[in-house]
Amino acid sequence: MSESQEPLLKIRNMNTAYKINGHYYNAVSDINLDVHSDEILALVGESGCGKSTLAKTVMGLEDEDAKASGQIYFNGSKKNLLKISENEYNQIRGGQIGMIFQDSLSALNPLKKVGKQVGESLYYHTKLDHDARYKRVVKILGEVGLPNPELVANEFPYQLSGGMRQRVMIALAIICHPKLIIADEPTTALDVTIQAQILDLLRKIQKISHAGIILITHDLGVVAQIADRVAVMYAGQIVELGSAKQIFLDPKHPYTRSLLRSVPQRDEVGKNLYVIHGTVPPLTAMPTHGDRFAARIPWIPASAHEANPKMHDLGDGHWVRCTCYKHFYFPHEKEEKDA
Ligand SMILES: Nc1ncnc2c1ncn2[C@@H]1O[C@H](COP(=O)(O)OP(=O)(O)OP(=O)(O)O)[C@@H](O)[C@H]1O
Protein backbone atom coordinates (compact mmCIF):
# COMPACT_ATOMS: atom_id res chain seq x y z
CA MET A 1 0.00 0.00 0.00
CA SER A 2 1.33 3.39 -0.88
CA GLU A 3 0.22 6.30 1.30
CA SER A 4 0.61 8.71 -1.61
CA GLN A 5 -1.98 6.83 -3.67
CA GLU A 6 -5.49 8.25 -3.82
CA PRO A 7 -7.51 6.24 -1.26
CA LEU A 8 -10.07 3.78 -2.59
CA LEU A 9 -12.62 5.03 -0.07
CA LYS A 10 -12.62 8.48 1.48
CA ILE A 11 -15.02 9.18 4.34
CA ARG A 12 -15.24 12.77 5.49
CA ASN A 13 -17.16 14.33 8.41
CA MET A 14 -19.67 11.51 8.33
CA ASN A 15 -22.47 11.23 10.88
CA THR A 16 -25.32 8.74 10.95
CA ALA A 17 -28.26 9.27 13.28
CA TYR A 18 -31.25 7.10 14.18
CA LYS A 19 -34.66 8.48 14.95
CA ILE A 20 -35.75 7.46 18.43
CA ASN A 21 -39.03 8.79 19.87
CA GLY A 22 -39.13 11.56 17.29
CA HIS A 23 -35.54 12.76 17.79
CA TYR A 24 -32.38 11.93 15.87
CA TYR A 25 -29.39 10.64 17.84
CA ASN A 26 -25.97 10.13 16.26
CA ALA A 27 -24.83 6.50 16.24
CA VAL A 28 -21.60 7.48 14.49
CA SER A 29 -20.09 10.96 14.57
CA ASP A 30 -17.26 12.82 12.95
CA ILE A 31 -15.95 9.87 10.94
CA ASN A 32 -12.90 10.67 8.83
CA LEU A 33 -11.31 7.59 7.37
CA ASP A 34 -9.43 6.46 4.27
CA VAL A 35 -9.32 2.89 3.04
CA HIS A 36 -6.70 1.96 0.47
CA SER A 37 -6.56 -0.79 -2.12
CA ASP A 38 -4.59 -3.80 -1.04
CA GLU A 39 -5.04 -3.31 2.69
CA ILE A 40 -7.12 -4.82 5.46
CA LEU A 41 -8.43 -2.13 7.76
CA ALA A 42 -9.98 -3.48 10.95
CA LEU A 43 -12.79 -1.56 12.59
CA VAL A 44 -12.78 -2.63 16.20
CA GLY A 45 -14.76 -1.79 19.33
CA GLU A 46 -17.33 -3.09 21.80
CA SER A 47 -20.86 -3.99 20.80
CA GLY A 48 -22.94 -0.87 20.15
CA CYS A 49 -20.02 1.43 19.29
CA GLY A 50 -21.26 1.98 15.73
CA LYS A 51 -19.21 -0.40 13.58
CA SER A 52 -22.16 -1.85 11.67
CA THR A 53 -23.79 1.56 11.30
CA LEU A 54 -20.62 2.87 9.66
CA ALA A 55 -20.51 -0.13 7.29
CA LYS A 56 -24.20 0.12 6.44
CA THR A 57 -23.82 3.83 5.69
CA VAL A 58 -20.96 3.11 3.27
CA MET A 59 -23.09 0.41 1.60
CA GLY A 60 -26.13 2.70 1.41
CA LEU A 61 -28.06 0.17 3.45
CA GLU A 62 -29.07 2.35 6.40
CA ASP A 63 -32.24 1.47 8.26
CA GLU A 64 -35.33 3.47 7.32
CA ASP A 65 -35.13 5.51 10.51
CA ALA A 66 -31.53 6.55 9.80
CA LYS A 67 -30.16 9.82 8.42
CA ALA A 68 -26.57 10.20 7.21
CA SER A 69 -24.57 13.35 6.50
CA GLY A 70 -21.04 14.08 5.30
CA GLN A 71 -19.19 12.75 2.27
CA ILE A 72 -18.16 9.31 1.07
CA TYR A 73 -16.08 9.09 -2.10
CA PHE A 74 -15.29 5.78 -3.76
CA ASN A 75 -12.79 4.75 -6.40
CA GLY A 76 -11.72 8.23 -7.48
CA SER A 77 -15.25 9.42 -8.26
CA LYS A 78 -16.25 12.96 -7.26
CA LYS A 79 -19.78 11.77 -6.53
CA ASN A 80 -20.72 11.68 -2.88
CA LEU A 81 -22.18 8.21 -2.22
CA LEU A 82 -24.52 9.75 0.32
CA LYS A 83 -26.14 11.78 -2.47
CA ILE A 84 -26.52 9.20 -5.23
CA SER A 85 -29.78 7.49 -6.16
CA GLU A 86 -30.73 3.95 -5.15
CA ASN A 87 -30.30 2.97 -8.81
CA GLU A 88 -26.74 4.27 -8.87
CA TYR A 89 -26.02 2.53 -5.58
CA ASN A 90 -27.27 -0.75 -7.00
CA GLN A 91 -24.62 -0.48 -9.74
CA ILE A 92 -21.90 -0.27 -7.10
CA ARG A 93 -23.21 -2.60 -4.42
CA GLY A 94 -22.49 -6.26 -5.13
CA GLY A 95 -20.38 -5.22 -8.11
CA GLN A 96 -17.64 -2.83 -6.99
CA ILE A 97 -18.32 -3.17 -3.27
CA GLY A 98 -18.92 -6.65 -1.86
CA MET A 99 -20.26 -7.39 1.58
CA ILE A 100 -19.78 -10.41 3.82
CA PHE A 101 -22.23 -10.65 6.68
CA GLN A 102 -21.83 -12.33 10.04
CA ASP A 103 -24.83 -14.60 9.98
CA SER A 104 -24.70 -16.58 6.77
CA LEU A 105 -27.87 -18.48 7.58
CA SER A 106 -30.04 -15.36 7.65
CA ALA A 107 -28.07 -13.52 4.94
CA LEU A 108 -28.57 -16.33 2.42
CA ASN A 109 -32.00 -17.06 0.99
CA PRO A 110 -33.08 -20.44 2.43
CA LEU A 111 -35.30 -21.17 -0.59
CA LYS A 112 -32.71 -20.70 -3.33
CA LYS A 113 -29.93 -23.05 -4.27
CA VAL A 114 -26.45 -21.80 -3.49
CA GLY A 115 -25.36 -21.61 -7.14
CA LYS A 116 -28.31 -19.44 -8.10
CA GLN A 117 -27.68 -17.01 -5.25
CA VAL A 118 -23.97 -16.71 -5.96
CA GLY A 119 -24.70 -16.17 -9.65
CA GLU A 120 -27.26 -13.44 -9.06
CA SER A 121 -24.80 -10.56 -8.91
CA LEU A 122 -23.27 -11.76 -12.18
CA TYR A 123 -26.75 -11.47 -13.66
CA TYR A 124 -27.04 -7.85 -12.50
CA HIS A 125 -23.47 -6.70 -13.03
CA THR A 126 -22.24 -8.57 -16.12
CA LYS A 127 -23.53 -9.56 -19.53
CA LEU A 128 -22.58 -13.22 -19.11
CA ASP A 129 -25.14 -15.74 -20.35
CA HIS A 130 -26.55 -18.52 -18.17
CA ASP A 131 -23.87 -21.10 -18.98
CA ALA A 132 -21.00 -18.68 -18.52
CA ARG A 133 -22.48 -17.56 -15.20
CA TYR A 134 -22.80 -21.16 -14.03
CA LYS A 135 -19.18 -21.89 -14.97
CA ARG A 136 -18.01 -18.82 -13.10
CA VAL A 137 -20.07 -19.77 -10.03
CA VAL A 138 -18.61 -23.27 -9.89
CA LYS A 139 -15.11 -21.83 -10.37
CA ILE A 140 -15.50 -19.31 -7.54
CA LEU A 141 -17.01 -21.91 -5.17
CA GLY A 142 -13.88 -23.98 -5.78
CA GLU A 143 -11.64 -20.96 -5.29
CA VAL A 144 -13.08 -20.22 -1.85
CA GLY A 145 -12.15 -23.75 -0.83
CA LEU A 146 -15.43 -25.62 -1.14
CA PRO A 147 -14.91 -29.26 -2.10
CA ASN A 148 -17.19 -30.54 -4.90
CA PRO A 149 -18.27 -27.06 -6.02
CA GLU A 150 -20.76 -28.43 -8.56
CA LEU A 151 -22.50 -30.35 -5.82
CA VAL A 152 -22.49 -27.36 -3.47
CA ALA A 153 -23.98 -25.13 -6.20
CA ASN A 154 -26.97 -27.47 -6.25
CA GLU A 155 -27.55 -27.47 -2.51
CA PHE A 156 -29.61 -25.24 -0.26
CA PRO A 157 -27.86 -23.20 2.47
CA TYR A 158 -29.23 -25.35 5.31
CA GLN A 159 -27.50 -28.39 3.82
CA LEU A 160 -24.07 -26.83 4.43
CA SER A 161 -22.04 -26.41 7.62
CA GLY A 162 -21.51 -22.91 9.11
CA GLY A 163 -17.95 -22.75 7.74
CA MET A 164 -19.10 -23.81 4.25
CA ARG A 165 -21.91 -21.24 4.27
CA GLN A 166 -19.44 -18.54 5.20
CA ARG A 167 -17.31 -19.56 2.21
CA VAL A 168 -20.43 -19.28 0.05
CA MET A 169 -20.99 -15.75 1.45
CA ILE A 170 -17.42 -14.88 0.53
CA ALA A 171 -17.88 -16.32 -2.98
CA LEU A 172 -21.01 -14.21 -3.33
CA ALA A 173 -19.18 -11.08 -2.19
CA ILE A 174 -16.18 -11.50 -4.49
CA ILE A 175 -17.64 -13.02 -7.65
CA CYS A 176 -17.77 -9.65 -9.43
CA HIS A 177 -14.20 -8.79 -8.35
CA PRO A 178 -15.12 -5.89 -6.07
CA LYS A 179 -12.52 -3.24 -5.34
CA LEU A 180 -13.77 -2.94 -1.77
CA ILE A 181 -14.99 -5.74 0.50
CA ILE A 182 -16.77 -5.03 3.77
CA ALA A 183 -16.73 -8.02 6.10
CA ASP A 184 -18.97 -7.55 9.16
CA GLU A 185 -17.91 -10.01 11.90
CA PRO A 186 -17.29 -12.73 9.26
CA THR A 187 -15.92 -15.27 11.73
CA THR A 188 -17.90 -14.59 14.92
CA ALA A 189 -20.29 -17.51 14.50
CA LEU A 190 -17.53 -20.01 13.69
CA ASP A 191 -15.32 -22.21 15.85
CA VAL A 192 -11.65 -21.30 16.18
CA THR A 193 -10.25 -23.67 13.53
CA ILE A 194 -12.77 -22.64 10.89
CA GLN A 195 -12.28 -19.00 11.91
CA ALA A 196 -8.56 -19.30 11.14
CA GLN A 197 -9.33 -20.84 7.74
CA ILE A 198 -11.76 -18.05 6.85
CA LEU A 199 -9.22 -15.39 7.89
CA ASP A 200 -6.59 -17.10 5.74
CA LEU A 201 -9.02 -17.06 2.85
CA LEU A 202 -9.70 -13.32 3.29
CA ARG A 203 -5.99 -12.61 3.34
CA LYS A 204 -5.50 -14.73 0.22
CA ILE A 205 -8.32 -12.88 -1.58
CA GLN A 206 -6.81 -9.52 -0.66
CA LYS A 207 -3.36 -10.60 -1.91
CA ILE A 208 -4.71 -11.88 -5.23
CA SER A 209 -7.33 -9.22 -5.93
CA HIS A 210 -5.60 -6.20 -4.30
CA ALA A 211 -9.01 -5.22 -2.95
CA GLY A 212 -9.33 -2.98 0.07
CA ILE A 213 -11.03 -4.82 2.92
CA ILE A 214 -12.84 -3.30 5.88
CA LEU A 215 -13.01 -5.98 8.55
CA ILE A 216 -15.47 -5.30 11.34
CA THR A 217 -14.83 -7.19 14.53
CA HIS A 218 -14.88 -6.95 18.30
CA ASP A 219 -12.19 -9.63 18.48
CA LEU A 220 -8.68 -8.27 18.94
CA GLY A 221 -7.24 -11.73 18.25
CA VAL A 222 -8.71 -11.57 14.75
CA VAL A 223 -7.33 -8.05 14.29
CA ALA A 224 -3.85 -9.12 15.37
CA GLN A 225 -3.87 -12.01 12.90
CA ILE A 226 -4.92 -10.17 9.81
CA ALA A 227 -5.17 -6.36 9.92
CA ASP A 228 -2.74 -3.94 8.30
CA ARG A 229 -4.36 -0.91 9.93
CA VAL A 230 -6.82 -0.53 12.77
CA ALA A 231 -9.51 2.04 13.56
CA VAL A 232 -10.66 1.75 17.16
CA MET A 233 -14.21 2.97 17.70
CA TYR A 234 -15.84 4.01 20.92
CA ALA A 235 -19.37 5.36 21.34
CA GLY A 236 -19.73 6.23 17.66
CA GLN A 237 -16.37 7.90 17.19
CA ILE A 238 -12.98 6.74 15.99
CA VAL A 239 -10.74 7.23 19.02
CA GLU A 240 -7.52 5.83 17.59
CA LEU A 241 -6.25 5.01 14.13
CA GLY A 242 -2.93 3.50 13.17
CA SER A 243 -1.03 0.56 11.77
CA ALA A 244 -1.64 -2.76 13.52
CA LYS A 245 1.88 -2.43 14.93
CA GLN A 246 1.19 1.04 16.36
CA ILE A 247 -2.11 -0.05 17.90
CA PHE A 248 -0.79 -3.26 19.45
CA LEU A 249 2.70 -2.15 20.47
CA ASP A 250 2.16 1.52 21.21
CA PRO A 251 -1.54 2.09 21.96
CA LYS A 252 -2.34 5.60 23.13
CA HIS A 253 -6.04 6.16 23.78
CA PRO A 254 -7.23 4.96 27.21
CA TYR A 255 -9.97 2.95 25.48
CA THR A 256 -7.51 1.13 23.20
CA ARG A 257 -5.23 0.44 26.15
CA SER A 258 -8.16 -0.82 28.20
CA LEU A 259 -9.38 -3.07 25.40
CA LEU A 260 -5.92 -4.57 24.98
CA ARG A 261 -5.59 -5.16 28.73
CA SER A 262 -8.93 -6.88 28.84
CA VAL A 263 -7.82 -9.77 26.61
CA PRO A 264 -5.65 -12.60 27.96
CA GLN A 265 -1.91 -12.28 27.23
CA ARG A 266 0.33 -15.31 27.04
CA ASP A 267 2.79 -13.94 29.61
CA GLU A 268 0.06 -13.00 32.08
CA VAL A 269 -1.40 -16.43 32.83
CA GLY A 270 -2.97 -16.45 36.31
CA LYS A 271 -3.28 -12.66 36.51
CA ASN A 272 -6.72 -11.08 36.76
CA LEU A 273 -7.97 -9.62 33.50
CA TYR A 274 -8.70 -5.91 33.40
CA VAL A 275 -12.42 -5.14 33.30
CA ILE A 276 -13.51 -1.86 31.72
CA HIS A 277 -15.91 -0.18 34.17
CA GLY A 278 -19.46 0.51 32.97
CA THR A 279 -20.90 0.16 29.49
CA VAL A 280 -21.11 2.08 26.21
CA PRO A 281 -23.82 4.74 26.76
CA PRO A 282 -27.06 4.29 24.77
CA LEU A 283 -27.58 6.77 21.93
CA THR A 284 -30.13 8.77 23.91
CA ALA A 285 -27.62 9.32 26.73
CA MET A 286 -24.53 9.96 24.60
CA PRO A 287 -22.47 12.87 25.98
CA THR A 288 -22.64 15.78 23.53
CA HIS A 289 -19.35 17.27 24.63
CA GLY A 290 -16.22 16.13 26.43
CA ASP A 291 -14.49 12.78 26.12
CA ARG A 292 -17.08 10.02 25.74
CA PHE A 293 -14.82 7.50 27.49
CA ALA A 294 -14.20 9.75 30.52
CA ALA A 295 -17.03 8.22 32.58
CA ARG A 296 -15.33 4.81 32.32
CA ILE A 297 -12.00 6.01 33.67
CA PRO A 298 -13.29 8.14 36.58
CA TRP A 299 -9.90 8.25 38.34
CA ILE A 300 -8.53 10.42 35.53
CA PRO A 301 -9.30 14.08 36.39
CA ALA A 302 -11.73 15.97 34.15
CA SER A 303 -8.99 18.50 33.42
CA ALA A 304 -7.07 15.80 31.50
CA HIS A 305 -9.78 15.64 28.83
CA GLU A 306 -10.40 18.10 26.03
CA ALA A 307 -13.77 19.89 26.04
CA ASN A 308 -14.22 18.98 22.39
CA PRO A 309 -11.87 16.07 21.74
CA LYS A 310 -10.20 16.14 18.33
CA MET A 311 -8.03 13.65 16.50
CA HIS A 312 -4.33 14.43 17.03
CA ASP A 313 -1.66 13.47 14.53
CA LEU A 314 1.10 11.46 16.20
CA GLY A 315 2.95 10.94 12.91
CA ASP A 316 3.32 7.94 10.58
CA GLY A 317 -0.45 7.60 10.19
CA HIS A 318 -1.07 7.24 13.93
CA TRP A 319 -3.94 9.39 15.26
CA VAL A 320 -5.56 9.63 18.67
CA ARG A 321 -8.65 11.45 19.91
CA CYS A 322 -8.28 13.75 22.94
CA THR A 323 -5.08 14.62 24.76
CA CYS A 324 -6.08 12.60 27.85
CA TYR A 325 -3.82 9.77 26.69
CA LYS A 326 -0.90 11.82 28.01
CA HIS A 327 -2.29 11.58 31.55
CA PHE A 328 -3.79 8.10 31.51
CA TYR A 329 -2.70 5.28 33.82
CA PHE A 330 -4.37 2.12 35.11
CA PRO A 331 -5.32 2.14 38.82
CA HIS A 332 -2.99 -0.78 39.58
CA GLU A 333 -0.06 1.10 38.02
CA LYS A 334 -0.50 3.87 40.61
CA GLU A 335 -0.83 1.33 43.43
CA GLU A 336 2.36 -0.40 42.27
CA LYS A 337 4.18 2.95 42.11
CA ASP A 338 2.95 4.01 45.56
CA ALA A 339 3.81 0.64 47.18
N1 LIG B 1 -32.30 1.11 13.67
C2 LIG B 1 -31.83 1.62 14.81
N3 LIG B 1 -32.58 2.47 15.56
C4 LIG B 1 -32.11 2.99 16.70
N5 LIG B 1 -30.87 2.73 17.20
C6 LIG B 1 -30.09 1.88 16.51
C7 LIG B 1 -30.51 1.28 15.29
N8 LIG B 1 -29.51 0.49 14.82
C9 LIG B 1 -28.49 0.59 15.73
N10 LIG B 1 -28.84 1.43 16.74
C11 LIG B 1 -28.01 1.84 17.87
O12 LIG B 1 -26.86 2.47 17.32
C13 LIG B 1 -25.71 2.18 18.12
C14 LIG B 1 -24.65 1.57 17.22
O15 LIG B 1 -25.12 0.29 16.77
P16 LIG B 1 -24.26 -0.62 15.78
O17 LIG B 1 -25.06 -1.84 15.49
O18 LIG B 1 -23.78 0.20 14.65
O19 LIG B 1 -23.02 -1.00 16.70
P20 LIG B 1 -21.94 -2.16 16.53
O21 LIG B 1 -20.67 -1.64 17.05
O22 LIG B 1 -21.95 -2.67 15.15
O23 LIG B 1 -22.52 -3.27 17.51
P24 LIG B 1 -22.55 -4.87 17.31
O25 LIG B 1 -21.14 -5.31 17.39
O26 LIG B 1 -23.39 -5.31 18.49
O27 LIG B 1 -23.22 -5.12 16.00
C28 LIG B 1 -26.17 1.27 19.24
O29 LIG B 1 -26.42 2.08 20.38
C30 LIG B 1 -27.46 0.68 18.69
O31 LIG B 1 -28.34 0.35 19.75
Residue with CA closest to ligand 1 atom 24 = 47
The confidence score (pLDDT) of residue 94 equals: 79
Distance 102 CA to ligand 1 centre (A): 15
Please return the burial class of 238, using the count of CB atoms within 10 Å of its CB with bins 0-12, 13-18 and 19+: buried
The confidence score (pLDDT) of residue 244 equals: 97
Regarding the beta carbon of 286 and ligand 1, being less than 6 Å apart is answered no
Global pTM reads: 0.91
How many angstroms from the chain centroid is the CA of residue 113?
28
The confidence score (pLDDT) of residue 335 equals: 66
Regarding the beta carbon of 18 and ligand 1, being less than 6 Å apart is answered yes
The confidence score (pLDDT) of residue 134 equals: 93
The confidence score (pLDDT) of residue 2 equals: 44
The confidence score (pLDDT) of residue 162 equals: 87
Q: In what order do the strands lie in the sheet with 237-243?
A: 97-100, 180-184, 212-217, 40-44, 229-234, 237-243, 318-321, 311-315
Distance 155 CA to ligand 1 centre (A): 33
How many angstroms from the chain centroid is the CA of residue 70?
19
Closest-lying ligand 1 atom to the alpha carbon of residue 282: 29
Regarding the beta carbon of 234 and ligand 1, being less than 6 Å apart is answered no
Q: Domain segments of the chain: what residues?
A: 9-96+179-192+210-338, 105-177
Regarding the beta carbon of 281 and ligand 1, being less than 6 Å apart is answered no
Distance 66 CA to ligand 1 centre (A): 11
Tens digits of pLDDT across the chain (339 residues)? 444 578 999 999 999 999 999 999 999 999 999 999 999 999 999 888 999 999 999 998 877 889 999 999 999 999 999 999 989 988 888 789 999 887 777 788 999 999 999 998 888 888 889 999 999 999 999 989 899 999 999 999 999 998 899 899 999 989 989 999 999 988 887 788 888 888 988 999 999 999 999 999 988 988 998 999 999 999 999 999 999 999 999 999 999 999 999 887 666 666 677 888 888 899 999 988 889 999 999 999 999 999 999 999 999 999 999 999 999 999 877 766 666
Q: Note every long-range contact of 62-65, with CB atoms under 8 Å and residues 24 or more positions apart, other chains counting.
A: 62/16, 63/18, 65/18, 65/19, 65/20
Closest-lying ligand 1 atom to the alpha carbon of residue 49: 21
The confidence score (pLDDT) of residue 126 equals: 86
Closest-lying ligand 1 atom to the alpha carbon of residue 20: 4
Residue with CA closest to ligand 1 atom 28 = 48
List, as one string, the DSSP characters of 298-331: TTS-GGGS-SS--EEEEETTEEEESSGGGT---H
Find out whether 74 and 8 touch, Cβ atoms under 8 Å.
yes
The confidence score (pLDDT) of residue 125 equals: 85
Domain 9-96+179-192+210-338 -> CATH class = alpha beta
Distance 34 CA to ligand 1 centre (A): 22
The confidence score (pLDDT) of residue 1 equals: 43
